[in-house]
Chain A
Amino acid sequence: MAQSKPVITLVCERAADLNSLLDSKGNLAEMPDVHVVKFPCSGMIQPLMIEAALKAGAGGVIVCGCQIGDCYYREGNKMIRDRLLGERPPGLKKATDRRRIMALWLSRMQKQRFIAESKEFIYRVQALDIQEGISAGNKASANPAPTVAAKPAVTAPTAAPVVDSSSTSTPTAATTSAPAAAKPTIRPPTTATTPATEKSSSTPEAESDKTSST
């Protein structure tokens, strides 16, 4: 885990209570590669922040809000969920690698669940890094073919010129080529990233669903 990329967690301070899990620098004591940024409400999280984190070299971003249906400020978690799914502006750029984003909807007591999901997510992100490292070889001849295979619904943006192996491509290239890319409808076998935002991943059904698809 030492060589892995950092993971940013953007969390509502009323959702999963991570205070007891943090060290003095705001990282998870158990997983120092995970940095936690707290917000008054998950609705404050801008898609821009997620894009900035990935662009700055983060391996993945975890968004954590309260259970859908329960928001102290009424609608915040639904707002960020809809933004991540591209159903409410402003959304993520089409080229943003959705596999590196996970949304969790957890109530205050569910910090153990947060740890478990985060560990799984970090493994997935690391697997992506390895996959992309092999396929890219060197950066000059970046060939994202395996990524395409792993993620059928989002072929277009990754097929568009990907400059960096951390897969933040230029937005113009993506927008011109991929109208269907905004919503990955088919769940790739190795990931449950953006689709996890569709269902409340705080229920055991979501968990079993996810494991069965692997």
Chain B
Amino acid sequence: MTSSVQNESNDNWLKQGYNHFIDIANKITLAIEDGINIAVTSKYNPLYYHGALPQFYLWVLFLSGLLLFAYYVPTIDNAYLSNRLINAWTSVQYITNSIPFGGVIRGIHRYAGDAMVLFIFLHAIRVWFTDRYRQYRWIQWVSGVVLLLMVLFIGQTGYYLVWDERSLLLTRMTVSALEALPIIGAPLKAWFLNGDTITNLTLSNFLFIHIGLSFALLFVLWLHYVRMTRPVITPPPAVNFVLVGILLLAVFLVPITSGKMADLNSQPNTYEVDWFFLFNYWLMSHMSLAVFWVSMTAAAVIATILPWLVKNVSPPVIPAEVVISKCTGCSLCYRDCPYQAIEMVPAPAGSRFKLLATVNIPRCSSCGICVGACAFDAIDLPQLPDANVLSEIKTFAEAK
């Protein structure tokens, strides 16, 4: 008995501390947004499009990537083709230096990737601080974690594709990290290198992973949006222009260049870290591989189950209820529900109407927007029936 009380108070202490932290974080987030609203009005506040920003950069990446793909040659050497060396590194050099605006396209592709990761983190932090990732939104959070991991991995394969000394070093580091894994390590290494050693096939595998996973992003994005009615996936054009402007500024101020061509006989050991994509290689070189894998896995698992670790911050969801005798099947609540929690089904036999609204309970957020959409009092939140609200309003208005 005493131990359970002890546990409870510990639990409360932790819970209170967490709630306090989220409360302050929430206030700071809202204060920043209020400030931006004063400057640019809420219509153009980029923080109100925090989910659409990475999506916008994804389109930029697709387009610029398509242009790069036209000239990229995914090989290490081409001994049998000509006496002039044509490989991944030289094709990237050709794109950068010889094709009109090739360097600009390459720069856009690199910096748009960085920006995408940056805005994904912004997006994640905002939904965390404003408590918009749990309960009926768990599928968005979990698919979001998967998307982030995919984006990070796609970005890393992009760094291998350039095939300069950094690419070679990163490839070797990845191979040694994979080899350290028990059981699945060897097959993963074979898959990664497309063979036992680095060959021409390795580069074509990298290109396949880079492009193939990018398209797989679209499938996970579908999961990310599937329960959202009217997902906000496009920022207003004015914001888009600013986003592209910032990108071009970075491209022209800090042009992207390759390092020296990778030489399989050399042993490069230093490289420039891109903190958006390559931070895990930095971690890898500062700890043992066992610690690295355990901590990476733990971080991914904790991030994934975060919605279930945090509880009781907001009240539990009590789903809306349809009053079957009043529902006319007009579909207004179905159209307005922001979580697609209302489904229109054929009305029961003997009804005067064709359709009947039903609540899909796991999706319901108990926000009451369906109540606001209903002109027939036919849908209600059990904890706050609209009849009670109406009588409260009338009592006060008539008392005076």
Contact = CB atoms under 8 A, between A and B. Distances in A.
B301 to A, nearest CB: 27
Contacts of A90: 332, 373-375
B55 interface: no
A121 to B, nearest CB: 16
A108 B130 CA distance: 12
A205 B338 contact: no
B15 interface: no
Interface in B40-86: 41-43, 45, 48
A57 B397 contact: yes
B367 A202 contact: no
B372 interface: yes
Given A6-B399, A79-B336, A109 B381 contact: no
Chain B contact residues: helix, strand, loop or mixed: helix
A79 B37 contact: no
A58 interface: yes
B394 A56 contact: yes
B400 A75 contact: no
A74 B373 CA distance: 15
A83 interface: yes
A35 B381 contact: no
Contacts, number: 143
Given A69-B43, A200-B37, A52 B394 contact: yes
Given A49-B386, A58-B397, A204 B38 contact: yes
Contact of A70 (B33, B366, B374, B384): B33
A53 interface: yes
A73 B41 contact: no
- The number of chain B residues touching the other chain, given as a range, is 35 or more
A109 B33 CA distance: 11
B334 to A, nearest CB: 13
Chain A contact residues: helix, strand, loop or mixed: loop
A203 B367 contact: no
Nearest to A71: B338
Contacts of B381: 40, 44
A49 B390 contact: yes
B211 interface: no
B392 interface: yes
B230 interface: yes
A181 B116 CA distance: 47
Nearest to B43: A69
Interface in A41-89: 41, 43-46, 48-49, 52-53, 56-58, 67-70, 72-76, 79-80, 83, 88-89
A53 B42 contact: no
A132 interface: no
A97 interface: no
B5 interface: no
Given A56-B397, A79-B372, A80-B372, A73 B365 contact: yes
A5 to B, nearest CB: 6
Given A52-B393, A200-B37, A203-B37, A40 B228 contact: no
A105 B230 CA distance: 21
B349 interface: no
B397 A203 contact: no
A73 B338 contact: yes
Interface in A87-138: 88-90, 105, 107-110
A76 B365 CA distance: 12
Contacts of B323: none
A104 B41 CA distance: 15
A69 B239 CA distance: 14
Contacts of B394: 52-53, 56
A85 B71 CA distance: 54
B33 A107 contact: yes
A149 B90 CA distance: 78
Interface in A1-55: 5-6, 8, 27, 33, 35, 37, 39-41, 43-46, 48-49, 52-53
Contact of B34 (A75, A80, A107): A107
A200 B42 CA distance: 7
Given A41-B369, A75-B230, A69 B338 contact: no
A38 to B, nearest CB: 9
Interface of B: 26-27, 30-31, 33-34, 37-38, 41-43, 45, 48, 130-132, 228-230, 332, 336, 338-339, 365-369, 371-375, 381, 384, 386, 389-390, 392-394, 396-400
Given A46-B386, A57-B398, 11 more contacts: A8-B397, A40-B367, A43-B336, A58-B393, A58-B397, A67-B37, A69-B42, A76-B368, A79-B336, A80-B372, A89-B332
Closest 7 CB pairs of A and B: A44-B368, A69-B48, A73-B367, A43-B369, A56-B397, A90-B375, A74-B338
